[in-house]
Amino acid sequence: MTVLPNSVAARDIAYYFHPATNARRHEAIGPMVIERGEGVRVFDDQGKDYIEGLAGLWSVAVGFGEERLAKAAYEQMRRLPYYHSFSHKSHPAAVALAERLVRMAPGDLSKAHFTSSGSEANDFVIKLIWYYNNALGRPQKKKFIARQRGYHGVSIASASLTGLANFQRDFDLPLPFARHVATPHFWRGAKPGESEEDFASRLADELEETILREGPETVAAFIGEPVMGAGGVIPPPRTYWEKVQAVCRRHDVLVVADEVITGFGRTGRMFGSELYGIEPDVLVVSKALTSSYMPLSAVIFSDRVYQAVADNSAKIGVFAHGFTASGHPVATAVALENLDIIQEKGLVANAADLSPHFLARLEQFADHPYIGEARGVGLIGALELVADKQSKAGFAQPGSVGAKLAELCHEEGLIIRAIGEIIAFCPPLIITEKEIDEMFDRFGRALKRLPIDEAKAP
């Protein structure tokens, strides 16, 4: 692209250091500058429209330009623009949201704590569970087990749980408390002739072997996304969560469900935990909580955890954790209105109703010579690109074909997420069947333009 002097793009290159970006490449190509959004579409500074096939970053459930959220933020800003929750202070919006989340959450969860991002939330989960085990006189029970390709954040602690190399490489991570077990990806990980149930049993056995090898007295928690998101949109094999939870219960290992992506309707249920029968001790939500109109996340945890933590705070005199913006009035007010919209517009049911059509359109690309697998659940899905369908081998330059396809999608007016060679779709929950068709039609045009046989398997 041509970057004009003194343009937004030029100033961006000059001053803005971007997250999750190749900085030198950004200097060369500049940014896509998005100026506004409406429904499932966003518009760049040239007026071109794009269907936002990833809902921003897996998050804008109610779509872009929702006036009710703008009004909720404005009214709260006028009434009480900021207050904190330290030292017994509170305000109505935070209380109302905490109550609502506890009442709607699956399982036996009793308290909610607010942070501003999924990374912060999972950082808090680690501290909370360490504090909990210290309170119970179990100072060695501190290790967390996560999965390869899992994504739980980018802070020093949460990135240690993340199982993606680029989020750890040259950051001196992971920290020693984190362990990782296999990715529950049946298509990639199953042995020849192995059923989904047998694959799930093997992964549960691996988890148990890891706990026993480390020592159950040292393992505090197992954390997982009901459906893996940023690691490639990987729904679990049948019976996986049932078997994994049974292992955790046998060894008094807490179950943490990271629902930052799957919460509030993405899977066709309010929570992915409901779909897969997960009974978490701790539940983490963000993104669709406010449709990312405001930074907000929540950690909802069981009474069992709360009682031990509360007793210890009385013993010490304080639970000394919190952020300036914890339970921010504007963010919590926007979340309440956002949840009202999800309920009133039936967006959870919309995801369930449209899922068969969404998945069928996704599956239509499975015959393409570069598509190894089409997979998904609810309104989240992925296409995995391979150089050879039979061997499932990747390309000579990993990530190059996915990146090229993402560029072609941009040209066709579609924003998706290329996770290496995995193309992820996660549109706003307000999407219609007609818009799903338009999204995949645009993708299909981009895919037809992808050169075949230029990239060879190594």
Name the helix (H) or strand (E) containing 172. none
How far is residue 373's CA from residue 391's CA, in Å, rounded to a whole number?
A: 12
Is the domain 32-62+346-449 a CATH 3.40.50.170 member? no
Q: How much is the pTM?
A: 0.96
135-172 tens-digit pLDDT: 999 999 999 999 999 999 999 999 999 999 999 999 99
403-428 tens-digit pLDDT: 999 999 999 999 999 999 999 999 99
Q: Closest by alpha carbon to 304, among 256, 254, 245, 263?
A: 254
Is the domain 69-344 a CATH 3.30.300.30 member? no
Whether the predicted pLDDT of 453 surpasses 80: no
Q: Which two tokens stand for residue 345?
A: 């517009």
Q: What is the DSSP string of 366-411?
A: TTSTTEEEEEEETTEEEEEE-SBTTTTB--SSTTHHHHHHHHHHHH
Whether the predicted pLDDT of 196 surpasses 80: yes
208-266 tens-digit pLDDT: 999 999 999 999 999 999 999 999 999 999 999 999 999 999 999 999 999 999 999 99
The percentage of residues in the chain with a pLDDT greater than 90, rounded to a whole number, is 96
> Which pLDDT value is given to residue 5?
84
303-347 tens-digit pLDDT: 999 999 999 999 999 999 999 999 999 999 999 999 999 999 999
Interval 396-409 mean pLDDT:
94
Residue 132 CA, distance from chain mean position: 25
Residue boundaries of the structural domains of the chain: 32-62+346-449, 69-344
> Which pLDDT value is given to residue 458?
46
> Which pLDDT value is given to residue 455?
52
> Which pLDDT value is given to residue 22?
94
Measured torsion, CA atoms of residues 190, 193, 197, 199, in degrees rounded to the nearest 10: -20
Strand partners, 414: 51
How far is residue 224's CA from residue 9's CA, in Å, rounded to a whole number?
A: 38
Q: How confident is the model at residue 121 (pLDDT cuts 50, 70, 90)?
A: very high
Looking at residue 191, the DSSP 8-state letter turns out to be P
> Which pLDDT value is given to residue 4?
80
Q: Closest by alpha carbon to 253, among 223, 297, 292, 286?
A: 223
Give me the amino acid identity at 92: P
> Which pLDDT value is given to residue 104?
97
Strand partners, 179: 145
> Which pLDDT value is given to residue 250?
98
> Which pLDDT value is given to residue 1?
64
Q: How confident is the model at residue 2 (pLDDT cuts 50, 70, 90)?
A: confident
Whether the predicted pLDDT of 454 surpasses 60: no
Whether the predicted pLDDT of 432 surpasses 80: yes
The percentage of residues in the chain with a pLDDT greater than 70, rounded to a whole number, is 98
Least confident of 265-269, 353-357, 447-451: 447-451
Q: Closest by alpha carbon to 423, among 447, 448, 441, 445?
A: 447
User: What is the overall mean pLDDT for the chain?
Assistant: 96
SS3 433: helix
